[in-house]
A and B are shown apart, each in its own frame.
Chain A
Amino acid sequence: MTTGEEKSAVLAQTQKFIGALKATPAGQALVRALERTQGDPEVQRLHENLQRAVDAFQRAQRAGTVSEEQIQAIREAQAEYQRHPTVGELFGAQMKMTSLLRSANFVISDLLALDFGQTVRSAGGCC
């Protein structure tokens, strides 16, 4: 077991790393984009629309009654959501942050001789 003191040391370094990530242009763009999407009622509405379409599809999938209309509804809700400029900004910022996180993961994994990202993935896999 990890002692409290050790854990604090590791978590303190984690906080410093997070601070450095947030200070990068990608980090700042992501923070801004998250704030804008969360504060935009139109984006929230489009997101709820998409979520409803996905829920309906999943219910139908369990019941074995998926229709072409339901698939089309998801496609449309998704396209409408993704077309919104604020959402586009968020995706762009997420892509840049992903690239940064991957580089960081490479650095960490190399030093520990284990794949950090893979190790923390939930035991049952991502599927």
Chain B
Amino acid sequence: MPESEHGVVADATDLETAAMDGARALARAIAESATFRAFEEARDTLMTDVELTRCLRGYQRCRQEFETARSWGGGDPREGEALEAEWRALAEAPAVREYLRTQDDLVVLLREVAALISQEIGMDYASACAPAGGCCG
């Protein structure tokens, strides 16, 4: 029965489209919250500071290289200490402090959203969305 089969397929697609619309509406509700707007403002402020973002990128690159080396049993502990000191200095910049503060608030809200989805669906949202092969690759 190709006709009814087609009907079922169309219905499934509609339902999936409705789910994606639901995702979009959820994202909009998050975007409209003062928590997100504060984060967005802090993110924009940080991004306009060219020198600071350059330092942060440099730090992140070094941190990542160090973590990779450490996961393979390498990584000089002195380098780890130097990175910690660099981070402390960076985190003192008001733009970074504000970014981290607003990010913390946002993460609390987003985690609550994800926990609710995980609980109701019976699957862990974050793991399901992790890149294939796990996040440790």
Contact = CB atoms under 8 A, between A and B. Distances in A.
A binds B: yes
A20 B21 CA distance: 9
B33 A116 contact: no
What is the predominant secondary structure among interface residues of chain B facing chain A? helix
Interface stretch (A4-12, A57-65, A69-77): A4-12
A11 B113 contact: yes
B128 A11 contact: no
A35 to B, nearest CB: 10
Contact of A24 (B15, B106, B110): B15
B128 A120 contact: no
Interface in A38-87: none
B106 to A, nearest CB: 8
Interface string A22-42: 111101001100100000000
Nearest to B120: A18
Contacts of A24: 12, 15-16, 18-19
Contact of B125 (A16, A23, A101): A101
A25 B15 contact: yes
Contacts of B123: 30, 94, 97-98, 101
Given A16-B22, A117-B130, A125-B135, A100 B29 contact: no
Interface residues of B, number: 47
B108 interface: yes
A12 B25 CA distance: 10
B26 A10 contact: yes
Contacts of A117: 114, 125-126, 128-130
Interface in B19-48: 19-36
A120 to B, nearest CB: 4
Contact of B109 (A10, A19, A97): A10
Q: Which of B36, B112, B126, B135 has the most CB of A within 10 A?
A: B126
Interface string B97-137: 00000000111111111101100111101111110001110
B35 A6 contact: yes
Interface of B: 12, 15-16, 18-36, 105-114, 116-117, 120-123, 125-130, 134-136
